[in-house]
Structure 1
């Protein structure tokens, strides 16, 4: 299934609300509980989502002004942003996520049709039109919502988003084995996340692909 720009913008808005709703229920020690990512607490993960909004916002600024603005000022800047978040209180982290998301949404809403076609460069060095930035944010917000390890699983994510994510991850990974299972399980498998039941055509367990995103 293909994905449209309108799809990506809708998923971003829905995912942002879902993520904010989830972290709004965290209290006290909840913030320091393990996330679904090795060595990261929920505090690390939430700081990453806030910093990611700021980073994607830099590309939106690039599109709006023509001023070359990389996602991160240096290779170390991404890690520094996450580390800064681990020293914040839960309330401060929640405010950072909310404020950065609102700023990103406002920036995107202000782009003209022509500005959306501006070429920008991702943190991985890919050259893409600015129209790809909502999808970049979609993947972060929805996959990491599951990684938050609260009550959301891949099966709870929008079906059309899962279809688009499955196709995108398979494409970016390159050669992957043909596996069978539910849409949610196959997508989780391709994304290197826990899944219930995915198998090869002969019924044997699917080989481990390792982490992604």
Structure 2
């Protein structure tokens, strides 16, 4: 297995996009609410620091063959809370440092190591080649959550389509796919009875819980959607 070139490109672009979003926020605004209920912008950034560090650890394990234990949920939550409480300058530095550690782990990974199995949580193994997409999805979606004047319309169409693909895969794995046929341009997801159509940014916002679907067209009332992440 070789390096996942397309996903790595999405990840690099996403990290730059995150930097743009962060650069638009003042220090005072970091303590303000994000678009995620109950989360401040600082909490979103702290979560991105933790996931960058976790991804870097997994890639290092793929390279060295030594697995880093996956932190428990309580440990991860405490680490996020501590990072979110940092002074604004230190929080910004933590975001940059975590991104740089992750970039270094990607650079150091030889091609053959992309096929190594890593564990993102107990009992859930996947090839290292899947990690760039998981991180890319995080940075693109959470850049929107920072509410810094950046929305899904600023995300490349191929990334948005991949996010929608990902959501439907996750729903399918849990047998909670809504009874819809979802259309965005020439793209289609689902085979349900209710036809729902809209722009790709509007569709992505709705199915990820970042929009109420008011800007979509449908044959009837929109259903409630199961969480996807």
Aligned to 2:225: 209
Distance 1:19 1:52 in 2: 14
User: Which residue among 194, 198, 201 is the counterpart of 1:181?
Assistant: 198
Cα RMSD for the two superposed structures: 1.6
Q: Does 1:192 align with 2:204?
A: no
Residues 153/25 of structure 1: CA separation in 2 closer, same or farther (3 Å cut):
closer
Aligned to 1:85: 83
Aligned to 1:118: 116
Relative to the length of structure 1, the TM-score reads 0.91
CA shift for structure 1 position 124? 6.8
Distance 2:122 2:154 in 1: 29
Contact 2:7–2:133 (8 Å) recurs in 1: yes
The secondary structure found in structure 2 opposite 1:107 is helix
Q: Does 1:103 align with 2:101?
A: yes
The secondary structure found in structure 1 opposite 2:223 is coil
Contact 2:25–2:148 (8 Å) recurs in 1: no
Aligned to 2:191: none
Residues 156/205 of structure 1: CA separation in 2 closer, same or farther (3 Å cut):
farther
The secondary structure found in structure 2 opposite 1:152 is coil
- Total equivalences in the alignment: 207
Relative to the length of structure 2, the TM-score reads 0.85
The superposition leaves residues 161-200 of structure 1 with CA deviations (integer Å, 9 ceiling, x where unpaired) of 1111111111111222222111111122121111542243
Aligned to 2:187: none
With 175-184 and 27-36 compared, the bigger mean Cα shift is at 175-184
Q: How does 1:11-90 map to 2 (within 5 A)?
A: 11-70=10-69, 72-90=70-88
The secondary structure found in structure 2 opposite 1:122 is strand
Distance 2:124 2:133 in 1: 14
CA shift for structure 1 position 122? 1.4
CA shift for structure 1 position 116? 0.9
Contact 2:152–2:202 (8 Å) recurs in 1: yes
Contact 1:198–1:205 (8 Å) recurs in 2: no
The secondary structure found in structure 1 opposite 2:73 is coil
Unaligned 5+ runs, structure 1: none
Unaligned 5+ runs, structure 2: 182-195
Aligned to 1:162: 160
Distance 1:139 1:46 in 2: 14
